[in-house]
Structure 1
Amino acid sequence: MNPQQNHFIDVNQLRVGLYVHLDLGWMDHPFTFSNFKLKDEEQIATIKKVGLKRLRYDPNRSDCDPLPMPEPILSPRGPLVEPPVEPVSHDRHQLDPGLRLQELQHALDESEKKFLAAANVAKQVTRNILTQTQTSLQQANTLIEGMVDSVLGESDIAIYAMSGNRSGDEHFNHPLNVTTLALMLSKSMDMSEEHARTLGLAALFHDIGKIEIPNRLLMKTEPLTKAEQSFMEQHSEIGARIAKQCGMSAEVVELILHHHEYADGSGYPKRLKMNDISLLARLLAIVNVYDNLCNPALTNKALTPYEALAYMFAHQRSKFDESLLKRLIKCLGVYPPGSVVQLSTGLHGIVVSVNMDKPLRPFVMVHDPASPTEESQLIDLRDDPSINISLCLKPSQLPEDAMHFLKPRKRLSYFISKDNQIAS
């Protein structure tokens, strides 16, 4: 949008029916999209709570005009002079540990809400891409643009493992996981916004070709026959065709086509080798394999995040761009979010969040038998160098009481948030 096309209004001029643009990072507001038409007073109240004083609106997409500006109330004794506000320290080491852990729990809850909203968008655009193409593409682009703006725009971000029973429709979590992991890597590479958006959109739609694969194959619990596997592998070409038909860019189409191509030539559909595969396609292939190892169709074959990274590095290294694989390990850390661990104190826990700049000192939700079982014990390993992670375990290796308390998920879902929500 050109500057002369911008229309700004005061937050007090908001009314139902206005189409507004929230010029905030996607993680800085609770809405699914940053651009939308106001439907009720609750949305207006939420925008005011976010702290925006003025915002853009689109007259052409609005149902009404903004409210008139309220008249200023002047004091008969002269202009009102507000007392100075003492700045609040955001140094995490100066805050009470209990308060910081409350903030972490709040950040986890907010990230889960964001994830559920994003997962719902992923589900809708996947289901409707053929019947409501333009609307679905607009929703997908808005989602990806918001994620890219937030991920690339924040200097310090953390990646979360979603917990509990609210992670949405698991069938649609894989594309969102792949998108999240791909954008995480894009940030570590200082990728341009344009390339990150291309990567994000391709990641969201990388398996779109599976909508033409019969459910009996997608849901089959026994190993696929050779013929079935060959048919399944066609989803890359089908997806590229669908993406092209829907008007996606040539770059996105190519990424969807090549997301199963591997550096050693063992991939499909064209058996390309390293130099013939674009950097973005090599990146997409790595995060796709990682999430498939953690979240396979058969949950009893799932690897822990720790095992998945170790397996990729020890047994599949030749398939990948090794520099990108090492970057993934560096970003996720030795103990990625979702890892079940034993601390040097002997307590068991789950890694809930990893800061990309300090991946070896994650946040861990701990089971302490001496504490009430209904209370979460969250530990920031950055605060206490005397506590370390001793072991990474399979969920089945947890003691019964720890298993009951921690409830490790059979499937993992990832999401990214700015770290100053949890570390300030």
Structure 2
Amino acid sequence: MLKKVRVFDLQIGMYVVDAGLSWMDHPYLYAEEGPVTSEEHIGRIRSEGFAEAFIETEKSRQGRQDVRVYDRAEVERALAEALLETAGSRSNKSVPLADELAAAHAAHAGSLTSLREAMDAVASGTSPDCQACQDASREVAQSVARNRDALVCLGMLSESGGYQVLHGVGVSVLAAAFGDYLGLDRRQVGELALAGLLHDVGKALTPRDVLEKQGRLSDEEYARVKRHPVESCSALSAASLPQHLLRAIAEHHERQDGSGYPRGIKGAQQSFFGRILAMVDVFAALTQDRPYRARILPDKALSVLFAMRGREFETSLLERFIKCLGVYPCGSLVRLTSGDHAVVSESNPHAPLRPKVTVVFDQDFKPIHPAVLDLSGKEGPAPAKPTEVAALVDHRPQGVNVRDHLAG
């Protein structure tokens, strides 16, 4: 499994993993993937100013190159031990996924348009139209109340619109879905969606060459990037947003251990909404293509978050987020232990590793007659041989249009 360690704790033979985190948010994270080969290697890492690294414990112990990054058994055990309180496991499938997709698409499109216009306004030095953003966020809240999976999968499958706008909408959708899962009321879910939508509007003032830089940021560039939470709040100051939303926006890069910015607050000093945005922001960034780094698949992204639990992120809140989303979120393409390929059609908060899937391709990606399979075994006839998810697969190289297999 993944483990985050201090550079001073690195040892020869440890296997460093590139977790996919942003240079802008983690400038002191060493991410050159491969084994630590010598004391000189460790000395070079230290001398270049790096402070932390992610290591793969299985590869480190055995030197193997074929170990999956995500340790399913470890996460499943942790989730089984986590609390299953009523407020943290609200079901919300009142409308079938296929029936909610059209409304979810409209809510997603409205969010894209309103955020793009807001960021254009900030870039030009004028006040953004927060009313349009509020209207779009209410639509998001209404959609996730009917079926969380519809908007979540559309958000994760969207690839056009520009990273900053797609990222803002992605955070908005995920924050709203998680808020609904936690049992927040419709107004609070809409507020979370709005805070997520607007959390990065200050980046409209950050130079593009800094935002899209391929390599490590200089100290001056990093200092410039760290201004964007405050600049987001300043840009929204005339919009009469509730103070707790401005606070959440200001805190979305803070961390529970005090390692975040801009103020370096820790623990209970970070608001509840701020804690949600901080966690969702990292997951959304990891699973979207960025100008300087390709996305990673959701299971690896969750393994990165899981390795940050108890330090940057509150353990109980993170475990609930994983339960809400599922290790294999709705819309994911997976390979089953049978060899067939399926699209995840419904997440399972009570068994995150066992979603409901629609089998649509054989092992060679040849289309087969669709068959719905509940991997938890709670619905439908039990299969002759137990079937599980073997791996998550990137749908893009296979030319698979996942949306075609969600409409039913």
TM-score, normalized by the shorter chain, greater than 0.5: yes
Q: Which residue of 2 aligns with 1:323?
A: 316
Scaled by the length of structure 1, what TM-score is found?
Answer: 0.62
Cα separation, 1, equivalents of 2:131 and 2:210:
30
Judged with a 3 Å threshold, the aligned counterparts in structure 2 of structure 1 residues 183 and 392 are, in CA distance, closer, same or farther, namely same
Amino acid at match of 2:313: F
- State the Cα RMSD in Å: 3.5
Check whether the contact 1:119–1:168 (CA below 8 A) recurs between aligned residues: no
One-letter code aligned to 2:398? H
Aligned counterparts of 1:295 and 1:121: Cα–Cα separation in 2? 20
Return the alpha-carbon distance in structure 2 between the equivalents of residues 302 and 166 of structure 1.
Answer: 12
Q: How many residues align?
A: 302
Q: Which residue of 2 aligns with 1:294?
A: 287
Cα distance per residue 1:294-316 (max 9 Å; x no partner): 12525755321011111211245
* C-alpha contact 1:157 1:356 (8 A) present in aligned 2: no
Q: What's 2:389 paired with?
A: 390
Aligned-pair CA distance for 1:249: 2.3
Equivalent residue letter for 1:162: L
- Deviation (angstroms), 1:151: 3.0
User: Which whole-Å CA distance do the structure 2 matches of 1:306 and 1:230 have between them?
Assistant: 31
Q: Match for residue 238 of structure 1?
A: 231
User: Given the two structures, how large is their TM-score scaled by the length of structure 2?
Assistant: 0.64
Contact 2:156 2:287 in 1 (8 A): no
**1:174 has 2:167 as partner:** yes
Superposition map of 1:137-286 within 5 A: 137-152=130-145, 154=146, 157-159=148-150, 160-162=152-154, 167-171=159-163, 172-286=165-279
Q: Secondary structure at the match of 1:342?
A: strand
Q: How far apart are residue 110 of structure 1 and its match?
A: 5.7
Q: Compare 119-128 and 351-360 and name the one that shifted more.
A: 351-360
Equivalence map 1:28-177=2 (5 Å): 108=101, 111-128=104-121, 136-152=129-145, 154=146, 157-159=148-150, 160-162=152-154, 167-171=159-163, 172-177=165-170
Q: Closer, same or farther in 2 for the Cα pair 1:338/1:256, shift >3 Å?
A: same
> Cα–Cα, structure 1 residues 377 and 113, in superposed 2: closer, same or farther, change >3 Å?
farther
Shift of 1:181: 0.9
Unaligned runs of 5+ in 2: 1-95
Q: Quick one: which amino acid aligns to residue 361 of structure 1?
A: P
Q: Which has the larger radius of gyration?
A: 1
Deviations along 1:184-209, one digit per CA (max 9) or x if unpaired, are 11112211334333322111100011
Task: Note closer, same or farther for the CA distance 1:213–1:157 as it changes in structure 2 (3 Å cut).
Answer: closer
Per-residue deviation, 1:362: 2.9
Cα displacement (A) at 1:392: 2.0
User: What is the DSSP-based 3-state SS (H/G/I as helix, E as strand, rest coil) of the residue aligned with 1:191?
Assistant: coil
Which string of whole-angstrom CA distances, capped at 9 and with x for unpartnered residues, describes residues 367-412 of structure 1? Answer: 2368964x884634254543633322453xx8xxx94342689xxx
Q: d(CA) in 1 for partners of 2:382 and 2:211?
A: 46
3-state SS of paired residue (1:161): helix
Relative distance call for 1:405 and 1:389 in structure 2 (3 A) is farther
Contact 1:161 1:352 in 2 (8 A): no
Residue 287 of structure 1 aligns to a residue whose secondary structure is helix
1:361 is matched with 355
Match of 2:299 in 1: 306
Secondary structure in 1 matching 2:217: coil
Task: Say if 2:175 and 2:276, in contact at 8 Å, map to a contact too.
Answer: yes
Q: Structure 1 regions of 5+ residues with no counterpart?
A: 1-102, 410-418
Q: Which amino acid aligns with 1:147?
A: V
Deviation at 1:336, TM superposition (A): 2.0
Find the aligned partners of 2:127 and 2:231 in 1 and give their Cα distance. 19
C-alpha displacement of 1:116: 3.0
Counterpart of 1:158 in structure 2: which amino acid?
D
Q: d(CA) in 2 for partners of 1:107 and 1:125? A: 27
Is 312-321 or 350-359 further displaced after alignment? Answer: 350-359
Distance 1:299 1:131 in 2: 25
* Residues 163, 127 of structure 1: alpha-carbon distance in 2 compared, 3 angstrom cutoff: closer
